[in-house]
Structure 1
Amino acid sequence: ASYSYLLGAMWLAFHSTYIIIFLTGLPANLLALRAFVGRVRQPHPAPVHILLLSLTLAPFKIIEAAQGLQWHLPVVLCALTGFGFYSSIYCSTWLLAGISIERYLGVAFPVQYKLSRRPLYGVIAALVAWIMSFGHGTIVIVVQYLNSTPQATNESMFVCYENFSKEQQDVVLPVRLELCLVLFFVPMVVTIFCYWRFVWLMLTQPHVGTQRRRRAVGLAVVTLLNFLVCFGPYNVSHLVGFHTGKSPAWRMEAVVFSSLNASLDPLLFYFSSSAVRRTF
């Protein structure tokens, strides 16, 4: 009875969290998307607007939480949903890194950056981020069709992308470790360095106004929260899983935190773009 009560409480918490994320994230991201589409369609859009536009397209899932963390739809949809969701997490990390690089270069080398700035560079950076993340995300499809997710209580219901056998974990856990190191820690280090230099330059230059300084600090703080709060727990679960040889019991909770970036990203858009501020 206590176990059933715990499962019910977890389902209610996950369901409520995803609903809040959906209700706050969807309208704000749609407003930001409208602003970025308008800005990109103008002549000579900045590369950062192309990167920010790509960031608004990262999806988040809600179906499993609404159905008690079990998948009732066809197996192929589970694989495709997992592919899009987990790939978008790591696409977001590299897009955030690209935005931080653009911001740092624009402040540290303003003349050279303005002379060499091309919209094509933003397109290339966004494509590289999507290709890297979705290329790694194919492991979700491969594992799913290798029958790596056992059936749950009956033939029409199973837990999506969990409960691997020992042989399957020997493949999945090293891949998760590689995802954590290459697609989380590397872009996080790049982002921290760029925003440290960006904020330092903004605060020390006398001609920079107070509002611009506040936006610079806000942009850095929101981005850091994205890495530490949203993506940090999920990637730490990769490290713990590789060390212990099995997925940690709190991995599902870590996945919920990953969805919070749908609510945090609009704040990042607000601090990054005057077009978004006007739209809001």
Structure 2
Amino acid sequence: MALTLVLSNLVLAVFGFTLITGLPANILAFYTFFKKVHQRSTPMDVLLLSLTISDLIFLFFLPFRMVEAANMKWTLPYFLCPLSGFIFYSTIYNSTFHLTAISVERYLGVAFPIKYKLKRDPRNAVIASVIFWVMSMGHCSIVYIIQYYNSTNVNFTAPYMRNTCYDEFSREQLDILLPFRLELFIVLFLMPFLICCFCYIKFILILSNLPSINAKKRYRAIGMALGTLLVFIICFLPYNVSHVVGYVQNKSPDWRVQALLPSTFNACLDPFIFYFSSSALRETFRNILQKLSRKFLQPCCRSALCCHLLDCSSTEEKTQSTTESSVEQHKLGRRV
């Protein structure tokens, strides 16, 4: 569909917000998981690292789509059109596979803690990640097939001669694309979503019946499970429903662009799921916040007025005051 001014601004706003918030968060997550994998890796760390790499690749290619939205047409070299589309869709479906694998790993760790702990091997997670990348990229290679498909209709303008990208398909292209999109919905979304629902529902039920687990850890784990399910529903469901609607209507829906927008939010929501899943990432976040607070808050507190308003006296002064107070109380106790 042709981009209107309103839709162009909406796409730019969504893509820009995703890029600004998602890029630093995923870089931080990549640093954390890369360091963790080299020190002492677990299957969860491998899966999270692979998912972070997928999100970073998605974010690096997002500016190409932003240029298209800003110009309301494709003005970049044509070879970037199928390449950016291939990366765009591959990383979206790669995320569904990885989030599903994380749910399976979480469920097995709670349902069969002893057996699974004995069989946990990071190499299995590496193999699974490679399979996910191959399956998502193999399926989404349809972008290249459709973009370079030679139509027999002499009145149909070849894609590379137009100023649109992965749009305005011929009848022959749609006869190939629409059934394939239905297969994408079933294999790359519906099956992972059902597996994820089963694992996290069982995961929540098991945690709810284990009173020995710390309440804070239990709520954090349940929050991670519910957050992942919400990501599936909010980010991936609308776009994949358009596949089914397009197959039923035998045409590409006009609202596919709007349905695709929530999928981009996944790249900036994943780090928040990582926060609940990884203690290493939580520790990294805390360290950075502490460094930022020392860098920006302490200079401010040198002002007497600011120190009075914020009550942010230095740690040394507070420690000294506490020590002096304790000594005085001790002396008073001895006198009494």
Give the TM bin, normalised by the shorter chain: over 0.9
CA 1:207–1:150 in 2, change beyond 3 Å: closer, same or farther?
Answer: farther
Question: Is the contact made by 2:149 and 2:173 (CA closer than 8 Å) also made in structure 1?
Answer: no
Q: 1:10 is matched by which residue type in structure 2?
A: L
* 1:68-103 Cα deviation digits (max 9, x unpaired): 342211221111111111111111111111000000
> Which residue of the partner structure matches residue 114 of structure 1?
117
Q: 1:276 is matched by which residue type in structure 2?
A: L
| 1:181 and 2:183 are equivalent in the alignment | no
CA distance in 2, matches of 1:214, 1:62: 37
CA distance in 1, matches of 2:260, 2:212: 43
Match of 1:73 among 71, 76, 79: 76
Match of 1:51 among 47, 51, 64: 47
> Which residue of the partner structure matches residue 63 of structure 1?
64
CA distance in 1, matches of 2:173, 2:186: 21
Residues 105-184 of structure 1 correspond to what in structure 2 (within 5 A)?
Answer: 105-146=108-149, 155=161, 158-184=163-189
Q: 2:199 is matched by which residue type in structure 1?
A: C
- Judge which range, 255-264 or 141-150, deviates more: 141-150
Question: Is the contact made by 1:150 and 1:159 (CA closer than 8 Å) also made in structure 2?
Answer: no
> Which residue of the partner structure matches residue 36 of structure 2?
39
* 1:166-196 Cα deviation digits (max 9, x unpaired): 1110000000000000010000000000001
Radius of gyration: which is bigger?
2
Q: 1:225 is matched by which residue type in structure 2?
A: L
CA distance in 1, matches of 2:225, 2:85: 29
TM-score relative to the length of structure 2: 0.78
* 1:11-47 Cα deviation digits (max 9, x unpaired): 111111111111111111111111100110013x111
CA distance in 2, matches of 1:262, 1:119: 24
CA distance in 1, matches of 2:277, 2:263: 21
| 1:202 and 2:204 are equivalent in the alignment | no
Question: Is the contact made by 2:32 and 2:281 (CA closer than 8 Å) also made in structure 1?
Answer: yes
CA 1:187–1:150 in 2, change beyond 3 Å: closer, same or farther?
Answer: farther
CA 1:84–1:55 in 2, change beyond 3 Å: closer, same or farther?
Answer: same
| 1:17 and 2:14 are equivalent in the alignment | yes
Residues 88-107 of structure 1 correspond to what in structure 2 (within 5 A)?
Answer: 88-107=91-110
**SS at 2:39 equivalent:** coil
Task: Give aligned pairs, total.
Answer: 273
TM-fit CA distance, 1:64: 2.6
**SS at 1:74 equivalent:** coil
CA distance in 2, matches of 1:71, 1:50: 37
**SS at 1:159 equivalent:** coil
Q: 1:213 is matched by which residue type in structure 2?
A: R
CA distance in 1, matches of 2:237, 2:42: 29
CA distance in 1, matches of 2:216, 2:50: 26
**SS at 2:79 equivalent:** helix
TM-fit CA distance, 1:139: 0.8
* 1:185-213 Cα deviation digits (max 9, x unpaired): 00000000000111111121011111111
**SS at 1:42 equivalent:** helix
Question: Is the contact made by 2:64 and 2:84 (CA closer than 8 Å) also made in structure 1?
Answer: no
* 1:128-149 Cα deviation digits (max 9, x unpaired): 1111111101111111122579
Q: 2:111 is matched by which residue type in structure 1?
A: A
**SS at 1:158 equivalent:** coil
CA distance in 1, matches of 2:52, 2:157: 34
> Which residue of the partner structure matches residue 324 of structure 2?
none
CA distance in 2, matches of 1:31, 1:162: 36
Ranked by relative contact order (alpha carbons within 8 Å, sequence separation 6 or more), the top structure is: 1
> Which residue of the partner structure matches residue 316 of structure 2?
none
> Which residue of the partner structure matches residue 229 of structure 1?
234
Question: Is the contact made by 2:150 and 2:158 (CA closer than 8 Å) also made in structure 1?
Answer: no
TM-fit CA distance, 1:150: 5.1
* 1:195-244 Cα deviation digits (max 9, x unpaired): 01111111210111111111112111221121111111110000000000
**SS at 1:57 equivalent:** helix
- Judge which range, 182-191 or 211-220, deviates more: 211-220
**SS at 1:163 equivalent:** coil
Question: Is the contact made by 1:150 and 1:164 (CA closer than 8 Å) also made in structure 2?
Answer: no
Residues 240-259 of structure 1 correspond to what in structure 2 (within 5 A)?
Answer: 240-259=245-264
Question: Is the contact made by 1:70 and 1:159 (CA closer than 8 Å) also made in structure 2?
Answer: yes
- Judge which range, 244-253 or 54-63, deviates more: 54-63
TM-fit CA distance, 1:268: 0.8
CA 1:147–1:76 in 2, change beyond 3 Å: closer, same or farther?
Answer: farther
CA distance in 2, matches of 1:150, 1:102: 49
